[in-house]
């Protein structure tokens, strides 16, 4: 984060780096927290090890202890793992009729989740949904889904006594096709434990309907067993995502981390109660906070980082107001622009910068150009950065060559720098900088 405002201020923000001892001490506590949250042992171990490597040597934010800093790093790493690559995509149900297969152990919340999700798809996505229970084991299972269907206004496949799960699945597919449904959801039977018969049955159903999505429903209170359940179902049936139920209870939801780490499959939804609207999309931040149970510390470090950023912005603005704007300052700005993917941040925060922003955009100020300019500044000496006007033609050639670029490019950079420095000076005189500062505070 400290890089956000440019390397110029690195020396001001680093009060020290995390030593291996700092990290190890803090991670001992984190380890306890993860195990208490029911993260599976091997997953917790691997996770801690990865964080240990990553955290050691990282800078400690001012006014924060090394231990607190580690907790924040752990939190961020947890969010990364839970989130996986990019945001979770929407359910693939765009090919009507799309089959959505619900699998999981008995009592995990499959039937309830099937109905909740059907309601959501109907209400939020405007889908026509058909639900079918394939649970031929428990006598009342089919009626349970039927009743829920009536309650939420979603059709269920008429019950025919004596059919096998596979027969019901085929009939559901047929009905969904004939009836013009967008989605048909298959609520399978569970077992108390994983067994061959169950897996064979689910495999046969899968082969018959080729589901667009196969969601594994897991009780969020499941502890060490979550990994086995997820591995088994993913290996035998192939899942596309996970729904974590009973997250309204006391459980800290360590199963989420375990399953995400082991299967790599996204957690799509969390169940937050028995009611039909108690289903929410999975939010990595929230679940990470819950698993770690150290929200106060994370908030504290975030606050400290924010404060520091403000201080840095203030310091920078003061420098600018004095007419001080050298190549280091420019590099800081360029770094930041690159980070933020455009002319935002500090520039955007200052009134009067809008015009410059537009001009820069018009001049084709893209990431590639930013990188070239940063490379040019990097190949200048310290003195040249502090006082770029002193550069002779021969030095210019060398600096440009050092960055693998033409002198023309360097001249453009120097011109831009001069214009920006002039503008800073004017703003400083006119009091606009003070205005900007006030606005930022
Ligand atoms: P299935 O055997 O997998 O089909 O499980 P059910 O859907 O029948 O659910 C078993 C029990 O768990 C029912 O009493 C549900 O009301 C309850 N249940 C399901 N999801 C949740 C949830 O997210 N929170 C809570 N508190 N209870 C749930
Ligand atoms: Mg059921």
pTM, two decimals, is 0.73
Mean pLDDT, rounded, for 164-168: 96
Burial of 440 (0-12, 13-18, 19+ CB in 10 A): middle
Quickly list DSSP for 200-260: HHHHHHHHHH--SEEEEEEETT--TTHHHHHHHHHHHT--SEEEEE-TTSS---HHHHHHH
Mean pLDDT, rounded, for 183-207: 89
* Nearest atom (ligand 1) to Cα of 144: 8
Q: Is 180 annotated as a binding residue?
A: no
Q: Is 245 annotated as a binding residue?
A: yes
- Which ligand minimizes its atom distance to the CA of 137? 2
Count other Cβ atoms within 10 Å, centred on residue 137.
14
Percent of the chain with pLDDT over 70: 85
CA distance 117 to 402: 59
Contacts of 174 (CB under 8 A, 6+ apart): none
Q: Is 110 annotated as a binding residue?
A: yes
Provide the mean pLDDT of the chain: 84
Question: In 392-418, which positions are buried (b, 16+ CB within 10 angstroms) versus exposed (e)?
Answer: eeeebebbbeebebeeebbebbbebbe
Mean pLDDT, rounded, for 332-342: 66
Q: Whose CA is nearest to atom 16 of ligand 1?
A: 274
Under the banding of pLDDT at 50, 70 and 90, the label for residue 226 is confident
Mean pLDDT, rounded, for 108-117: 97
DSSP-derived pairing of the beta strands 213-219 and 241-245:
parallel
Verify whether ligand 1 is closer than 6 Å to residue 109 (CB atom).
yes
Predicted confidence (pLDDT) per residue in 409-424, tens digit:
999 999 888 888 887 7
Q: Whose CA is nearest to atom 9 of ligand 1?
A: 109
Verify whether ligand 1 is closer than 6 Å to residue 272 (CB atom).
yes
Lowest mean pLDDT among 80-94, 120-134, 190-204: 80-94
Please give the distance, rounded to the nearest whole angstrom, from the Cα atom of residue 108 to the centre of ligand 1: 6
DSSP-derived secondary structure letter, 7: G
Reply yes or no: is the peptide bond before residue 97 cis, omega within 30 of 0: yes
Q: How many residues does the chain have?
A: 441
Q: Is 191 annotated as a binding residue?
A: yes
Q: Is 120 annotated as a binding residue?
A: no
Please give the distance, rounded to the nearest whole angstrom, from the Cα atom of residue 211 to the centre of ligand 1: 23
* Nearest atom (ligand 1) to Cα of 104: 3
Under the banding of pLDDT at 50, 70 and 90, the label for residue 366 is low
State the CATH architecture for 98-281: 3-Layer(aba) Sandwich (3.40)
Sheet holding 183-187, edge to edge: 155-156, 129-133, 183-187, 98-104, 213-219, 241-245, 267-271, 279-281
Backbone angles phi, psi at 139, to 5 degrees: -55, -45
Quickly list DSSP for 162-179: T--HHHHHHHHHHHHHHT
CA distance 184 to 122: 12
Please give the distance, rounded to the nearest whole angstrom, from the Cα atom of residue 276 to the centre of ligand 1: 11
Q: Which fold has domain 2-85?
A: 1.20.120
- Beta-strand runs (E) in 377-423: none
Under the banding of pLDDT at 50, 70 and 90, the label for residue 93 is confident
pLDDT for the residue numbered 271: 95
Q: Give residue limits of the domains in the chain.
A: 2-85, 98-281, 322-440
Under the banding of pLDDT at 50, 70 and 90, the label for residue 353 is low
Under the banding of pLDDT at 50, 70 and 90, the label for residue 123 is very high
Reported ipTM: 0.99
Under the banding of pLDDT at 50, 70 and 90, the label for residue 323 is confident
Q: Whose CA is nearest to atom 20 of ligand 1?
A: 109
Q: Is 11 annotated as a binding residue?
A: no
Under the banding of pLDDT at 50, 70 and 90, the label for residue 10 is very low
Predicted confidence (pLDDT) per residue in 233-267, tens digit:
999 999 999 999 999 988 888 999 999 998 899 99
Burial of 435 (0-12, 13-18, 19+ CB in 10 A): middle
Distance in Å from the first CA to the final CA of the chain: 19
> Coil, strand or helix: which one is 3?
helix
Count other Cβ atoms within 10 Å, centred on residue 206.
20
More confident residue, 325 or 50: 50
Please give the distance, rounded to the nearest whole angstrom, from the Cα atom of residue 264 to the centre of ligand 2: 26
Verify whether ligand 1 is closer than 6 Å to residue 55 (CB atom).
no
* Nearest atom (ligand 1) to Cα of 279: 23
- Which ligand minimizes its atom distance to the CA of 143? 2
- Which ligand minimizes its atom distance to the CA of 114? 1
Please give the distance, rounded to the nearest whole angstrom, from the Cα atom of residue 107 to the centre of ligand 1: 6
Which residue out of 112, 142, 145 has the highest number of ligand 1 atoms within 8 Å of its CB and is therefore the one to mutate?
112
- Which ligand minimizes its atom distance to the CA of 109? 1
Domain 322-440 has CATH 1.10.287.70: no
Q: Is 310 annotated as a binding residue?
A: no
Identical fold, 2-85 and 98-281: no
Please give the distance, rounded to the nearest whole angstrom, from the Cα atom of residue 117 to the centre of ligand 2: 14
Please give the distance, rounded to the nearest whole angstrom, from the Cα atom of residue 144 to the centre of ligand 2: 8
Quickly list DSSP for 261-286: HHH-PPEEEEE-SSSTT-EEE--HHH
Given a cut of 90, is residue 318 above it in pLDDT? Answer: no
Burial of 190 (0-12, 13-18, 19+ CB in 10 A): buried
């Amino acid at each position: 984060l400290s890089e956000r405002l440019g390397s110029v201020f690195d020396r001001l923000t680093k009060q020290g780096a995390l030593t291996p001892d700092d990290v190890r001490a803090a991670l001992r506590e984190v380890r306890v927290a993860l195990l208490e949250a029911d993260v599976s042992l091997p997953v917790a171990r691997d996770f801690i090890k990865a964080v240990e490597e990553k955290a050691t040597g990282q800078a400690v934010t001012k006014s924060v202890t090394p231990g607190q800093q580690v907790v924040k790093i752990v939190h961020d790493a947890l969010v990364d793992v839970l989130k996986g690559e990019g945001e979770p995509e929407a359910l693939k149900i765009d090919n009507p009729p799309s089959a959505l297969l619900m699998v999981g152990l008995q009592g995990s919340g499959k039937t309830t989740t099937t109905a909740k999700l059907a309601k959501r798809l109907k209400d939020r996505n405007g889908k026509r949904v058909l639900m079918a229970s394939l649970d031929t084991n428990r006598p009342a299972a089919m009626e349970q889904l039927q009743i829920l269907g009536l309650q939420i206004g979603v059709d269920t496949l008429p019950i025919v006594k004596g059919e096998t799960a596979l027969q019901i699945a085929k009939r559901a597919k047929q009905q969904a096709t004939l009836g013009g449904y967008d989605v048909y959801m298959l609520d399978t039977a569970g077992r108390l434990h994983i067994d061959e018969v169950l897996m064979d049955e689910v495999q046969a159903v899968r082969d018959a309907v080729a589901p667009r999505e196969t969601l594994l429903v897991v009780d969020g209170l499941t502890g060490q067993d979550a990994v086995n359940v997820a591995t088994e179902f993913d290996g035998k049936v192939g899942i596309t995502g996970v729904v974590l139920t009973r997250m309204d209870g006391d459980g800290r939801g360590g199963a989420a981390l375990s399953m995400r780490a082991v299967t790599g499959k996204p957690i799509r939804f969390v169940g937050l109660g028995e009611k039909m609207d108690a289903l929410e999309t999975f939010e990595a931040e929230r679940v990470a906070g819950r698993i770690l149970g150290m929200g106060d510390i994370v908030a504290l470090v975030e606050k400290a980082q924010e404060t520091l950023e403000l201080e840095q912005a203030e310091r920078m603005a003061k420098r600018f107001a004095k007419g001080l704007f050298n190549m280091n300052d420019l590099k800081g700005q360029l770094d930041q622009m690159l980070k933020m993917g455009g002319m935002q941040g500090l520039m955007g925060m200052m009134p009067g910068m809008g015009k410059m922003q537009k001009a820069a955009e018009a001049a084709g100020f893209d990431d590639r150009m930013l990188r070239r300019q940063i490379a040019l500044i990097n190949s200048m000496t310290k003195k040249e950065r502090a006082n770029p006007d002193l550069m002779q033609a021969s030095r210019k050639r060398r600096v440009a060559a050092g960055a693998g670029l033409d002198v023309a490019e360097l001249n453009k950079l120097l011109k831009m720098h001069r214009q920006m420095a002039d503008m800073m000076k004017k703003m400083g005189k006119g009091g606009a900088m003070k205005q900007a500062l006030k606005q930022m505070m």
